[in-house]
Amino acid sequence: MYPPKFGYVRVTSLEEAVKVLESDENAKILAGGQSLMPMLKLRLIRPSYLVDINRVPNLSYISIESDRIRIGALVRHHQVEVNRDLWKIYPALPETAVQIGDPQVRNLGTMAGSLAHADPAADWPATLIALRASVKILGPPGVREVPVEDFITGPFTTVLGRGEVISEIVIPRFSGNVKSSYVKLERKAGDFAVVGVAVMLRLSQDGSVEDASIGVTAAGPKPFRPVRPRRH
């Protein structure tokens, strides 16, 4: 339960992190470390360097704008859990946060880290897919944006290329009467999901559904959007 030897670099900007990651493909970002540290101790991974972004300023924001919500790369699950605006706008987000792991995990683990780790049973992807969120990626050539459902390509794999880091998560806002929720089936409290389903609905004035969006996690090699939900 002791990690193999690794190097440690503390960066002060994401641009600096990009440079390190570009020069050494075995370096790994350390954000909340809630998946990374156990894997290190179990010797499942042997990174050359941990690139610690925890001291990078201004990455812990939850910025609520008129047409979108931007979530910084260092936002911890707990910040989402206690954000009153998010409870009003998209309850699915804090509902997801409170169901992740335990309080210790939620105090340190980050949304961006969870996406980058791409565990097929992670909670966030279901909700972010349902909310049609995308991932903003900073890399050597600059910034690109990828929808969450395309960002994760399989178990523990993403589109992140050499030198690329997640800089923020962008969640669009919709006008009108919007409802959202995340429901997780777990064997025991705090476990990974047996299955997790998030739904966003836009309702018209008479209460009929104008638009529906669903995200599912832990039901396949990667989270997905069921395109033709079965009618019951």
Partner 1 sequence: MPIKEHLDIVLGNSVYLDDIKLENMVHLYVIRSPYARARILRIEEPGNKALLLLTAKSIGNLLMPAVATPNARIVRMPVLPSNTVNFVGQPVAAVVTESRYSLEDISDEVSIEYEPLRPVITIDDALKNEEVIHPEIGTNISLDVTLEGGDTSVFKDANVVIEREIEQARLVANPMEPKGCIAYYNDDKLLVYASTQSTFRVRADLAEVLGFPIDKIVVKAPKNVGGAFGNKTPAYPEYVLAAIASMKLRRPVKWVETRTEHLNNATQGRGVKSRMRLYAKRDGTVLGIEGEVIVNLGAYNFTINASSPIFIANLSTGPYRMMAAKVRAVGVFTNLPPSGPYRGAGRPEAALIHETLMDDLADELGMDPVEVRRRNIIKDGETYRTPLGLVIDPANYQSVLEDAAKRYYEFRSKYLGKGISVVVFALYVSTPGGEGVKAVIGNGKLRLIIGSRPQGHAHESAFRKYASEVFGTPEELIEVVPGDTETLNYGVGTFGSRSATVVAAAITELAERVASRLSSMGLSLIDAVRSKGVVVEEEVDYKPSMAILAPGAHVAVVDFDPETLMANVIDYYAVYNVGKPLLEEEVEAQLHGGVLQGIAQVLWEGAIYSDDGTPLHTTLADYGLPSPPDVVYKVLTNGLNTPSILPGGLRGVGEAGTTGALASTFLALEKAIRVKTGVKVRLSRTPVTPSYLFQLIKNDK
Give me the DSSP letters along 25-78.
Answer: TT-EEESS-TTHHHHHHTTS---SEEEE-TT-TT---EEE-SSEEEEETT-BHH
Cα Rg, the chain, nearest whole Å: 18
Nearer to partner 1, 103 or 220 (CB): 103
- Binding window for partner 1 (CB under 8 A); candidates: 2-10, 72-80, 86-94, 136-144: 2-10
The residues in 182-221 that bind partner 1, with binding defined as CB under 8 A, are: 185, 187-192, 194
CB of 56 to partner 1, least distance (A): 28
Told to check if 228 binds partner 1 by CB under 8 A, we report no
Q: What mask, x for binding partner 1 by CB under 8 A, covers residues 11 to 50?
A: -------------------------------xx-------
CB of 191 to partner 1, least distance (A): 6
Return the amino acid letter for 98: V
123: which 2 tokens?
């909670």
Residue the block writes with tokens 């349902």 = 130
Exposure of 169 in the CB half-sphere (CA atoms within 13 A): 28
Told to check if 230 binds partner 1 by CB under 8 A, we report no
Told to check if 6 binds partner 1 by CB under 8 A, we report no
Cβ–Cβ contacts within 10 Å for residue 66, how many?
A: 6
Residues 224 and 122: beta-carbon distance below 8 Å: no
**What is the enclosing helix (H) or strand (E) of 7?**
strand 7-10
Nearer to partner 1, 84 or 188 (CB): 188
129: which 2 tokens?
């897919």
CB of 194 to partner 1, least distance (A): 8
- Interacting residue ranges for partner 1, rule: CB under 8 A: 1-2, 4-5, 42-43, 102, 185, 187-192, 194
